[in-house]
Homo-oligomer: A and B are copies of this chain.
Amino acid sequence: MYVRCHGCPLRTKPAFHDKTQDEIAVIDQMKSDHLRVSAGTEFIHPEQTDAELYTLFSGWAFRYKELADGRRQILNFSLPGDLIGMQAALLDKSLYGAVALTDAELCVVPRRRLFKLFEHAPGAAYELTWLGAREEALVDENLLTAGRRNAMERVAAMVAALYKRAEQLDLVQDGVMDFPLTQQHIADALGLSLVHTNKTLARLRAQGMFRIADGKLALLNPRAVARLAQYFEKEPARRPII
Protein backbone atom coordinates (compact mmCIF):
# COMPACT_ATOMS: atom_id res chain seq x y z
CA MET A 1 0.00 0.00 0.00
CA TYR A 2 2.83 2.36 0.95
CA VAL A 3 4.42 3.68 -2.23
CA ARG A 4 8.18 4.16 -2.21
CA CYS A 5 9.48 6.91 -4.43
CA HIS A 6 11.74 4.52 -6.32
CA GLY A 7 8.90 2.78 -8.05
CA CYS A 8 6.66 5.83 -8.20
CA PRO A 9 4.48 5.48 -11.28
CA LEU A 10 3.76 9.20 -11.30
CA ARG A 11 7.26 10.54 -11.77
CA THR A 12 7.78 8.69 -15.00
CA LYS A 13 4.99 10.61 -16.70
CA PRO A 14 6.13 12.92 -19.50
CA ALA A 15 5.18 15.97 -17.46
CA PHE A 16 8.03 15.53 -15.02
CA HIS A 17 11.79 15.86 -14.97
CA ASP A 18 13.84 12.76 -14.71
CA LYS A 19 15.66 12.20 -11.46
CA THR A 20 18.72 10.22 -10.54
CA GLN A 21 18.42 7.33 -8.11
CA ASP A 22 20.23 9.44 -5.53
CA GLU A 23 17.76 12.25 -5.87
CA ILE A 24 14.88 9.87 -5.56
CA ALA A 25 16.44 8.34 -2.47
CA VAL A 26 16.60 11.75 -0.82
CA ILE A 27 12.95 12.36 -1.44
CA ASP A 28 12.02 8.89 -0.33
CA GLN A 29 13.74 9.63 2.96
CA MET A 30 11.84 12.84 3.38
CA LYS A 31 8.54 11.17 2.77
CA SER A 32 7.04 10.03 6.05
CA ASP A 33 3.74 8.64 4.97
CA HIS A 34 1.44 7.74 2.14
CA LEU A 35 -2.06 8.81 3.02
CA ARG A 36 -5.33 7.69 1.55
CA VAL A 37 -8.26 10.03 2.00
CA SER A 38 -11.79 9.78 0.70
CA ALA A 39 -13.58 12.40 -1.33
CA GLY A 40 -14.50 15.38 0.79
CA THR A 41 -11.78 14.95 3.41
CA GLU A 42 -10.28 18.21 4.55
CA PHE A 43 -6.62 17.43 5.10
CA ILE A 44 -5.46 20.98 5.81
CA HIS A 45 -7.67 23.12 7.98
CA PRO A 46 -7.81 26.89 8.08
CA GLU A 47 -5.82 28.14 11.10
CA GLN A 48 -4.10 24.79 11.49
CA THR A 49 -0.65 25.31 12.97
CA ASP A 50 0.92 21.94 12.27
CA ALA A 51 -0.01 21.22 8.67
CA GLU A 52 2.38 18.97 6.78
CA LEU A 53 3.51 19.37 3.22
CA TYR A 54 1.83 17.11 0.69
CA THR A 55 2.32 15.94 -2.83
CA LEU A 56 -0.88 14.79 -4.41
CA PHE A 57 -0.21 11.30 -5.66
CA SER A 58 -3.61 10.48 -7.14
CA GLY A 59 -6.99 12.14 -7.36
CA TRP A 60 -8.01 15.77 -7.25
CA ALA A 61 -7.96 18.33 -4.45
CA PHE A 62 -8.50 22.02 -3.97
CA ARG A 63 -7.46 24.81 -1.66
CA TYR A 64 -10.01 27.36 -0.48
CA LYS A 65 -10.54 30.33 1.77
CA GLU A 66 -13.78 31.56 3.15
CA LEU A 67 -15.31 34.62 4.74
CA ALA A 68 -16.87 34.59 8.17
CA ASP A 69 -20.36 34.55 6.66
CA GLY A 70 -19.61 31.39 4.67
CA ARG A 71 -18.86 32.70 1.23
CA ARG A 72 -16.18 30.41 -0.15
CA GLN A 73 -13.49 31.00 -2.74
CA ILE A 74 -11.63 28.06 -4.23
CA LEU A 75 -8.06 29.21 -4.81
CA ASN A 76 -6.83 26.47 -7.09
CA PHE A 77 -7.28 22.86 -7.99
CA SER A 78 -4.53 20.30 -7.54
CA LEU A 79 -3.84 17.41 -9.85
CA PRO A 80 -1.44 14.51 -9.32
CA GLY A 81 2.13 15.67 -8.88
CA ASP A 82 1.11 19.01 -7.44
CA LEU A 83 2.45 20.21 -4.15
CA ILE A 84 -0.10 21.27 -1.55
CA GLY A 85 0.64 23.14 1.60
CA MET A 86 3.83 25.13 1.16
CA GLN A 87 2.31 28.14 2.82
CA ALA A 88 0.66 26.05 5.49
CA ALA A 89 3.91 24.27 6.26
CA LEU A 90 6.13 27.35 6.21
CA LEU A 91 4.01 30.06 7.78
CA ASP A 92 2.85 29.96 11.37
CA LYS A 93 -0.58 28.73 10.51
CA SER A 94 -2.54 27.82 7.46
CA LEU A 95 -4.50 30.62 5.87
CA TYR A 96 -6.57 28.23 3.81
CA GLY A 97 -8.16 24.80 3.84
CA ALA A 98 -7.39 21.93 1.50
CA VAL A 99 -9.93 19.30 0.59
CA ALA A 100 -9.84 16.12 -1.47
CA LEU A 101 -12.28 16.41 -4.33
CA THR A 102 -12.12 12.72 -5.12
CA ASP A 103 -10.69 9.79 -3.25
CA ALA A 104 -7.04 10.68 -3.22
CA GLU A 105 -3.57 9.63 -2.12
CA LEU A 106 -1.09 12.01 -0.57
CA CYS A 107 2.65 11.74 -0.08
CA VAL A 108 3.53 13.41 3.20
CA VAL A 109 6.66 15.44 3.87
CA PRO A 110 6.60 16.46 7.52
CA ARG A 111 7.07 20.15 8.08
CA ARG A 112 9.79 19.35 10.63
CA ARG A 113 11.96 17.88 7.92
CA LEU A 114 11.64 20.84 5.63
CA PHE A 115 14.57 22.79 6.91
CA LYS A 116 16.71 19.66 6.86
CA LEU A 117 15.83 19.29 3.25
CA PHE A 118 17.18 22.75 2.58
CA GLU A 119 20.37 21.92 4.44
CA HIS A 120 21.07 18.55 2.89
CA ALA A 121 19.34 18.50 -0.47
CA PRO A 122 19.65 21.86 -2.15
CA GLY A 123 18.45 20.42 -5.43
CA ALA A 124 15.25 19.16 -3.92
CA ALA A 125 14.82 22.42 -2.02
CA TYR A 126 15.18 24.34 -5.23
CA GLU A 127 12.54 22.22 -6.86
CA LEU A 128 10.25 22.72 -3.91
CA THR A 129 10.60 26.43 -4.34
CA TRP A 130 10.03 26.07 -8.03
CA LEU A 131 6.81 24.22 -7.38
CA GLY A 132 5.76 26.89 -4.94
CA ALA A 133 6.34 29.51 -7.61
CA ARG A 134 4.30 27.51 -10.07
CA GLU A 135 1.43 27.27 -7.65
CA GLU A 136 1.50 30.99 -7.25
CA ALA A 137 1.35 31.29 -11.02
CA LEU A 138 -1.85 29.24 -11.01
CA VAL A 139 -3.38 31.51 -8.41
CA ASP A 140 -2.29 34.57 -10.36
CA GLU A 141 -4.12 33.28 -13.38
CA ASN A 142 -7.20 32.54 -11.29
CA LEU A 143 -7.12 36.06 -9.95
CA LEU A 144 -7.00 37.42 -13.48
CA THR A 145 -10.00 35.23 -14.25
CA ALA A 146 -12.05 36.28 -11.26
CA GLY A 147 -11.13 39.92 -11.60
CA ARG A 148 -11.27 40.57 -15.29
CA ARG A 149 -13.12 37.86 -17.19
CA ASN A 150 -16.91 37.74 -17.46
CA ALA A 151 -18.88 34.61 -16.63
CA MET A 152 -18.60 32.92 -20.02
CA GLU A 153 -14.91 33.69 -20.25
CA ARG A 154 -14.32 32.45 -16.73
CA VAL A 155 -15.79 29.06 -17.42
CA ALA A 156 -13.90 28.82 -20.68
CA ALA A 157 -10.63 29.78 -19.00
CA MET A 158 -11.12 27.16 -16.34
CA VAL A 159 -11.91 24.46 -18.86
CA ALA A 160 -8.93 25.37 -21.00
CA ALA A 161 -6.52 25.45 -18.08
CA LEU A 162 -7.64 22.21 -16.46
CA TYR A 163 -7.67 20.43 -19.77
CA LYS A 164 -4.13 21.49 -20.50
CA ARG A 165 -2.95 20.31 -17.12
CA ALA A 166 -4.73 16.99 -17.45
CA GLU A 167 -3.25 16.49 -20.89
CA GLN A 168 0.25 16.74 -19.48
CA LEU A 169 -0.55 13.96 -17.06
CA ASP A 170 -1.96 11.60 -19.66
CA LEU A 171 -5.38 12.03 -18.14
CA VAL A 172 -7.02 12.86 -21.46
CA GLN A 173 -8.21 10.25 -23.90
CA ASP A 174 -9.88 11.14 -27.17
CA GLY A 175 -10.49 14.65 -25.95
CA VAL A 176 -12.25 13.43 -22.82
CA MET A 177 -11.09 13.69 -19.23
CA ASP A 178 -12.48 13.00 -15.78
CA PHE A 179 -14.00 16.11 -14.33
CA PRO A 180 -15.08 15.63 -10.73
CA LEU A 181 -16.23 19.20 -10.05
CA THR A 182 -19.81 20.03 -9.24
CA GLN A 183 -21.25 23.29 -10.46
CA GLN A 184 -20.87 24.56 -6.92
CA HIS A 185 -17.13 23.98 -7.14
CA ILE A 186 -16.99 25.77 -10.45
CA ALA A 187 -18.97 28.67 -9.02
CA ASP A 188 -16.74 28.89 -5.96
CA ALA A 189 -13.59 28.80 -8.04
CA LEU A 190 -14.78 31.44 -10.50
CA GLY A 191 -16.43 33.84 -8.09
CA LEU A 192 -19.92 33.31 -9.50
CA SER A 193 -23.19 32.28 -7.94
CA LEU A 194 -24.31 28.71 -8.40
CA VAL A 195 -27.35 29.70 -10.44
CA HIS A 196 -25.44 31.97 -12.74
CA THR A 197 -22.81 29.29 -13.24
CA ASN A 198 -25.52 26.87 -14.23
CA LYS A 199 -26.98 29.28 -16.75
CA THR A 200 -23.59 30.16 -18.14
CA LEU A 201 -22.84 26.49 -18.63
CA ALA A 202 -26.15 26.12 -20.44
CA ARG A 203 -25.27 28.97 -22.78
CA LEU A 204 -21.86 27.54 -23.49
CA ARG A 205 -23.30 24.10 -24.00
CA ALA A 206 -25.53 25.56 -26.69
CA GLN A 207 -22.42 26.77 -28.48
CA GLY A 208 -20.93 23.32 -28.51
CA MET A 209 -17.39 24.21 -27.49
CA PHE A 210 -17.22 21.53 -24.82
CA ARG A 211 -19.45 19.22 -22.86
CA ILE A 212 -19.47 18.62 -19.13
CA ALA A 213 -21.64 15.69 -18.11
CA ASP A 214 -21.49 12.64 -15.89
CA GLY A 215 -18.22 13.65 -14.32
CA LYS A 216 -16.49 13.95 -17.68
CA LEU A 217 -15.31 16.90 -19.70
CA ALA A 218 -15.11 16.62 -23.47
CA LEU A 219 -13.28 19.47 -25.16
CA LEU A 220 -14.80 19.71 -28.62
CA ASN A 221 -13.32 22.95 -29.86
CA PRO A 222 -10.15 23.89 -27.99
CA ARG A 223 -9.42 26.82 -30.24
CA ALA A 224 -12.79 28.42 -29.70
CA VAL A 225 -12.51 27.92 -25.96
CA ALA A 226 -9.03 29.45 -25.85
CA ARG A 227 -10.17 32.36 -27.96
CA LEU A 228 -13.23 33.06 -25.85
CA ALA A 229 -11.19 32.92 -22.67
CA GLN A 230 -8.21 34.73 -24.19
CA TYR A 231 -6.25 32.00 -22.50
CA PHE A 232 -3.05 31.11 -24.26
CA GLU A 233 -0.63 30.21 -21.51
CA LYS A 234 1.59 27.22 -21.87
CA GLU A 235 2.58 24.97 -19.04
CA PRO A 236 6.32 24.43 -18.88
CA ALA A 237 7.12 21.29 -20.81
CA ARG A 238 8.54 19.50 -17.81
CA ARG A 239 8.52 20.25 -14.17
CA PRO A 240 9.90 18.88 -10.96
CA ILE A 241 8.06 16.51 -8.73
CA ILE A 242 8.91 16.05 -5.09
Contacts and interface: CB of A to CB of B under 8 A. Distances in A.
Contacts of A144: 65-67, 73, 75
A204 to B, nearest CB: 18
A4 interface: no
A25 interface: no
Where chain A touches its partner, the secondary structure class is helix
B140 A96 contact: yes
A207 interface: no
A137 B230 CA distance: 26
Contact of A118 (B69, B75, B125, B141): B125
Given A118-B125, A133-B90, A67 B149 contact: yes
A238 to B, nearest CB: 10
Contact of A73 (B114, B122, B129, B148): B148
A148 B71 contact: yes
A168 to B, nearest CB: 15
Contact of A140 (B68, B123, B139, B188): B139
A63 B136 CA distance: 12
Nearest first, the 8 A-B pairs at minimum CB distance are A147-B191, A118-B122, A146-B147, A136-B136, A73-B147, A71-B148, A146-B146, A87-B133
